[in-house]
Amino acid sequence: MRLSRFFLPTLKETPAEAKIVSHRLMLRAGMIRQESAGIYSWLPLGLRVLKNIETIIRDEQDAAGAQEILMPTIQSADLWRESGRYDDYGKEMLRIEDRHGRDLLYGPTNEEMVTSILRDCIKSYKQLPVNLYHIQWKFRDEVRPRFGIMRCREFLMKDAYSFDLDLEGAKRSYDNMFAAYLRTFARMGLKAVPVRADPGAIGGDMSHEFHILAETGESAIFYDAAYDEMTLDMDNPDVAALQSIYAAEEELHDPEKCPVADDRLKQARGIEVGHIFFFGTKYSAAMGLVVDGPGGERITPEMGSYGIGVSRLPAAIIEASHDENGIIWPDSVAPFAVGLVNLKVSDEACVSQCDDIYDRLRDAGIEALYDDRDERPGAKFADMDLIGLPWQLVVGPRGVAAGTVELKRRAGGEKEELSLDSALEKLTG
């Protein structure tokens, strides 16, 4: 993509309303735009990151055996009356009336709907276990939307729902998602801390939140230093070992009963990027989901639900990975792999060198953002650092004469003068 044609409305000034670094950087880098309180448009640069995050999540959900569906954003109030949550959910639920006077709502979550799908579609124990997920927009009328897309009203969530015949199976499904979550966040360059959590409005017996440590995190978490000392094999994380390490969210942390010695107890701020719940037959029983067992007995399936804040993740990643000049995207979620910078667009040799590199990168399957604008080098470097692409490939008249390009790694800032071939080799790995 040529930067001269790319819709990238960057801001020079720091927007005054943005209180945390991810919000400031997302606005400055032209990733998002607020439409009304807690409701955002995603501009091209931001949407590319969001899509990459979605792809990693989808990949790991599929690998874990969950199957993708797509449920609507608008739901019938009657479904929620069946579970009793229509009245319980309160003001966070956006309630709508259609032209026939029927009560609808913009879904804040989908337990009721997915339970009704299973109720209508399965009859026998042979059809279980099953885990269905979707990636869909949610609406929660938060009292205080803030921090940009971190806590907004309309947001994208991945929510999965597991159905099992018995408790043992349900615990297996839970642990399976637990492991998938660790892998998912690790692939985004994040170390997520799983902490015991309050099941909240979803209700239930067992629940973990996954937190990214950051000073700006909204939650206070307490955990055993053993977690930091543990080496995790992300391909095959030891779920039982992790669940046995003490880690709890503020509301569940009781200093009196905490088993960890004071000098081993760590306190940190965390951004909740995922939340998993086991809640037994809460919805299946209330909504009459039953299957026939092997001996003709009636079985009420055990359920769990598993959420990831898809649209919160770009902000969480920025909170965990930035410097004073801007964002530092991990390779796996970066909007483009490389920024190709032409320092002198009035120089024909520079232009033809850059055009050639751009073609070769594309042929190698590497997406580059090509800064072909007529701007000062300083402004180009500042923009590249701000938007945080993992690599910068810089072409100027001196290098062209010497047969070299400059390759800079955004993360550490290291620069190397390389022949074009070695630079391309480095980028293609």
Residues that bind Mg ion (CB under 5 A): 275
Task: Report the nearest approach of ligand ATP to the CB of residue 201 (Å).
Answer: 7
Q: Which stretch binds ligand ATP (CB under 6 A): 4-12, 273-281, 327-335, 368-376?
A: 273-281
Nearer of residues 183 and 312 to ligand ATP, judged by Cβ: 312
Q: Residue 290 CB: number of other CB atoms within 10 A?
A: 17
- Is residue 306 within 8 A of residue 359, CB to CB? The reply is no
Nearer of residues 201 and 402 to Mg ion, judged by Cβ: 201
Nearer of residues 218 and 372 to Mg ion, judged by Cβ: 218
The 3-state DSSP class for residue 125 equals helix
Single residue of 24, 28, 208, 275 touching ligand ATP by CB under 6 A: 275
Q: Which does 314 bind (CB under 5 to 8 A by kind): Mg ion, ligand ATP, none?
A: none
Give CA–CA dist 32/18, Å, rounded.
12
Angle between the 167-187 and 44-63 helix axes, to the nearest 10 degrees?
140
Task: Report the nearest approach of ligand ATP to the CB of residue 328 (Å).
Answer: 22
Closest residue to bound ligand ATP by CB: 309
Give CA–CA dist 213/268, Å, rounded.
7
- Is residue 246 within 8 A of residue 258, CB to CB? The reply is yes
Q: What are the φ and ψ backbone dihedral angles of 339, each rounded to 5 degrees?
A: -105, 120
272 binds ligand ATP per the rule CB under 6 A: yes
Q: What angle do CA 369, 348, 423 make, to 5 degrees?
A: 45
Single residue of 312, 322, 380, 408 touching ligand ATP by CB under 6 A: 312
First-to-last C-alpha distance (Å) of the chain: 21
- Residue matched to tokens 């960057």: 10
Site size for ligand ATP, by CB under 6 A? Answer: 15
Give CA–CA dist 127/118, Å, rounded.
10
Mark residues 86-125: x for contact with ligand ATP by CB under 6 A, - for none. Answer: -----------------------x----------------
Give CA–CA dist 293/217, Å, rounded.
46
Nearer of residues 146 and 344 to Mg ion, judged by Cβ: 146
Q: What angle do CA 319, 393, 44 make, to 5 degrees?
A: 50
Task: Report the nearest approach of Mg ion to the CB of residue 396 (Å).
Answer: 50
Site for ligand ATP in 134-163 (CB under 6 A): 140, 142, 151-152, 155, 157
Nearer of residues 151 and 183 to ligand ATP, judged by Cβ: 151
Residue 218 token pair: 């909204």
Q: What residues make contact with ligand ATP under the rule CB under 6 A?
A: 109, 140, 142, 151-152, 155, 157, 200, 272-275, 307, 309, 312
